[in-house]
Each structure stands twice: as C-alpha cells, then as structure tokens.
A and B are shown apart, each in its own frame.
Chain A
Amino acid sequence: MMFRRLALSISALALAAALLLNFQGPGQASIAVLDTTSVSGSSISSGPTSGSSSGSTSTATPAPATGTASYTGDLVSTRFGDVKVQVTVTDGTITDVQALALPVGGHSGQISNVVAPLLRSEALAAKSASIDVISGATYTSRAYATSLQSALDAAGL
C-alpha cells in the first residue's frame, strides 16, 4: 500500500491514534473516537491543508470518501489566548488533529517553532532540541475540546 512503501523508505514508522474521552467536566456528552493511523517519518505530520478548511460549522458536510481535506473548528477564546483545532481527514479517516493555538503576543503559532527559553540558565536550549511531544494541560482545555468538536462536526464525523 502506498503508505507502507512511503514509511519503509523513510525507515522510521509511526502509528498514531487519537480518541476523545470524558473523565471529568461538563461539555462533551459523547465520546468522539478518532481512531486514526498516520504514517510519517518521525512525528505526526501536519500535512497540507486543502482549500476546504473553514471556520464555519453551520452546515456539516460529510467527509469525502477519498482524498484529503482539513476541517477547522471554531475559534474559542480563553484568557490565555485563542484556540482553534484543525482536523485532517484522508479517505474518510482522521489522519491528523492539530491545535492552531493563536499565541499571546502575536508570534508564530506553531508549537514546533519554539522560541528561546525565558529561563536565565543559558544551558537550556529548547529551541535547538527536536521535541516529540509537549507535556502540559494543553489538550485538556475546554477550549480545545470545544474547537475539536466543531471541527469534527464540520467533517461530518
């Protein structure tokens, strides 16, 4: 299959699956299962966005059976900034979920573009170390879940 050949040529294979659970807090009344597989060299690839991404979810169009499309959830504001979630669907399956956090202060929104650390210790150089994942409360925010659900609604999933 196409993906498998691509993975072998990169010589590192990553499978990713994501699902949404409710352990606490009101808001999501149902579990959205985003079982996905995504193949990339070293991390979940963000992939190109197609022209069909949209912030509006007033009409839910079902995700197309073939091809790749991105669906952007509603912008949700928090006191620490705004959160918008983008879902990429390939051949009817979710292949990526990305938080497009619009930053406080107006710098680049990509988490991978880390900036120089604020800490006074110059021994820490987060900007030069490649990072696999971020630990923090990022994905538990109500804003993230709300925006994600609206992206799923837009994708008809």
Chain B
Amino acid sequence: MGTAVSIHVRAPLPAAGAIEAACAVLHDIDRRFSLYRPDSELGRLARGEIDETALSPDVRWVLAACDDLARTSGGAFDARRHRADGVVDPSGFVKGWAVEEASRCLDDAGARNYLISGGGDILARGESAPGRPWRVGIRHPADPTTVIAVLAVSDGAVATSGLYERGDHIRDPGSAAVPRGLASLTVVGPSLAWADAYATAAFAMGLDGLAWIHGHPGHGAFAVTPDDRATWTPVVEECLVRETPRQVPLSASSHAAGVS
C-alpha cells in the first residue's frame, strides 16, 4: 500500500523550493519509519538489530506519543500491539505527523493558504479563497463517488478511519477482533498527527468513540454506521457546510441567498 500526498497552495506563494523541501521531509520520514524499507529504523528495530535506545530522537518521540495514546485510548490505539506479529507499527500516527512536519516547510517559506492531503487525511491552513475556508468532503464508506458531508476547515486537520478500502486491518487490540460498530469515523482537530491517531482509536471504539473524541477539547467526530446513518459531535456541527435555502423572498435590502 502506498500513501499518495498532494499539496495545493494558494496565494501568497511560498519561496521557491518550499514544495521540494516538503517532499524531502516526507521522503526522509518514509526512509526512517517505513516497515517495508530494509534500512528503516523501525525495520531494524523489528528485526532486533537495534533496540529503542538507539533510535533517532524523532522516532523515539513518535513511539512515546503512541504509548501515551495507548494509555489514553484504553488500548484502542496501540502501536505495539495492533499487529498480529507484534511488530511495532506507529503508522496510524506517522501518516498525519509526516504531513504536519512537511507543512512546516511551507510555513517557513511564507505560505499561508494551503492544503495537504496525505492518504485521505487533510491538513488545511488559511483559506482556499479570500473569505472561503477549505471545503473537505467526507466520502461515503461504501461508495467512493459519493460525498455525504462537507466540512469548512481553516487551520485544522481532518482524518478518517474506516474499513472500507484497507480491508480488515484495524484490530481492537483488546479482543483481536475487527470492530464492527462503525463504517467510518472522521475526526476534526488542530493537529493532523493526533487527528489521525484519534480517528484510528475512536473507530475501534465504535459509537463510544464519539464521546471519547468529544472529551478532547477542540476535536470533533463524524461517524457513519453500517446502515447508512450518521451522527456527529458539536465541534463538527460548527463546521458542517449547509446549503442556504434557495427560496428566499427578495426585498429591496436583501441579497438572494447564494450557494457557493
């Protein structure tokens, strides 16, 4: 499996080399974290060639963050136990964290309005146009051509966890069974690294995951059940895009409600 990353930048354009720098960061993180590269630090850890004290500071930090998450999620997100073969795999955190690290290259180069999409997880800064936040659609778990909700996001992250295309890879570490409660769960929050991991954890919790996310200030969750119903928390309610009514009586002082 690969993760395709796309970067969309609006004016003001960053200094030359910003996008290349961002890509270089992503490559570097991939080199160090990918379990399918023979020379990655995590690969060498998995093969017992090194122990954790020999890992670079970033990798140690990521593993420590994942350990914290394992505690606060009651094991719903556990980088050390979610693989059946016991290999330490923090990829549920690294995917979002890598995009955040790469985004600093854009920030440092003066970009203020951009959107990075990494494997369907989104980091949005600023706006897509003056006065218009970025619009992130949540796809239907079973139909890739259908968008079931749209979120208006400015300076925030959106991450979605689900079974639909990755297969039954998300395991509830406690039971080793595949969670069946939800078809997908989307988390909105300030940081993509945490939104990504929270989405993975909350998805494994089923509908209880919504309350768990709601308990994290500044975070919201949008869940879809296997029977095509959706439910969401107040933070998501605030950024759901709604169509304004088409039938607005025109008067001398009002504008027709527009849908952008």
The smallest C-beta distance from B10 to any residue of chain A, in angstroms, reads 6
Contact A132 B8, CB 8 Å, known A42-B128, A124-B240, A126-B148: yes
Min Cβ gap B220→A in Å is: 13
Shortest CB distance B3–A (Å): 5
CB-based contact A119/B5 at 8 Å: no
Q: Does B85 contact A (CB under 8 A)?
A: no
B67 sits at the interface (CB 8 A): no
Q: Contact check, B121 vs A23: say whether CB atoms are below 8 A apart.
A: no
Stretch at the interface among A54-62, A63-71, A109-117: A109-117
Task: Assess the A16–B128 pair: CB atoms within 8 A.
Answer: no
Inter-subunit contact B20/A132 (CB<8 Å): no
| CB-based contact B30/A133 at 8 Å | no
A21-B145 contact, Cβ under 8 Å, with A126-B137, A129-B243, A133-B8: no
Are B7 and A129 closer than 8 Å at their CB atoms?
A: no
Indicate if A105 sits at the interface (CB-CB under 8 A): yes
Interface string of B165-176 (1 = CB under 8 A from A): 111000000000
Interface secondary structure of B, over-half rule: mixed
Band of interface residues on B: 35 or more
Residues of B within 8 A of A119 (CB): 148-149, 228-230
Task: Decide: A43 and B8 in contact? CB cutoff 8 A.
Answer: yes
B residues in contact with A78, CB < 8 Å: 165
- Report B199 CB to chain A, min CB distance, Å: 9
- Chain B CB within 8 A of A6 CB: no
A-side residues, CB < 8 A to B, are 12-29, 31-35, 37, 42-44, 78, 80-81, 83, 97, 99, 101, 103-105, 107-111, 113-115, 117-120, 123-126, 128-145, 148-149
Would you call B26 and A21 a contact (CB within 8 A)? yes
Beyond contacts A97-B4, A101-B144, A141-B165: 9 other A-B pairs, Cβ-Cβ < 8 A, are A20-B4, A22-B37, A24-B1, A24-B34, A111-B147, A113-B145, A119-B148, A119-B229, A124-B243
User: Quick check: is B158 within 8 A (CB to CB) of the other chain?
Assistant: yes
On whether the beta carbons of A24 and B146 are closer than 8 Å, the reply is no
B15 proximal to A (CB < 8 A): no
Q: Give the distance in Å from the alpha carbon of A1 to the alpha carbon of B9 in the complex.
A: 19
The minimal Cβ–Cβ distance linking A24 to chain B, given in whole angstroms, is 4
A32 to B: closest C-beta gap in Å: 8
Chain B 147-202 interface residues, beta-carbon cutoff 8 Å to A: 147-151, 158-162, 164-167, 184, 186
10 tightest Cβ-Cβ pairs between the two chains A and B: A125-B243, A25-B1, A141-B165, A136-B139, A145-B2, A131-B137, A24-B91, A140-B119, A101-B144, A103-B145
Query: Is B259 an interface residue when CB atoms closer than 8 A count as contact?
Result: yes
Candidates B37, B147, B228; contact of A134 at CB < 8 Å: B147
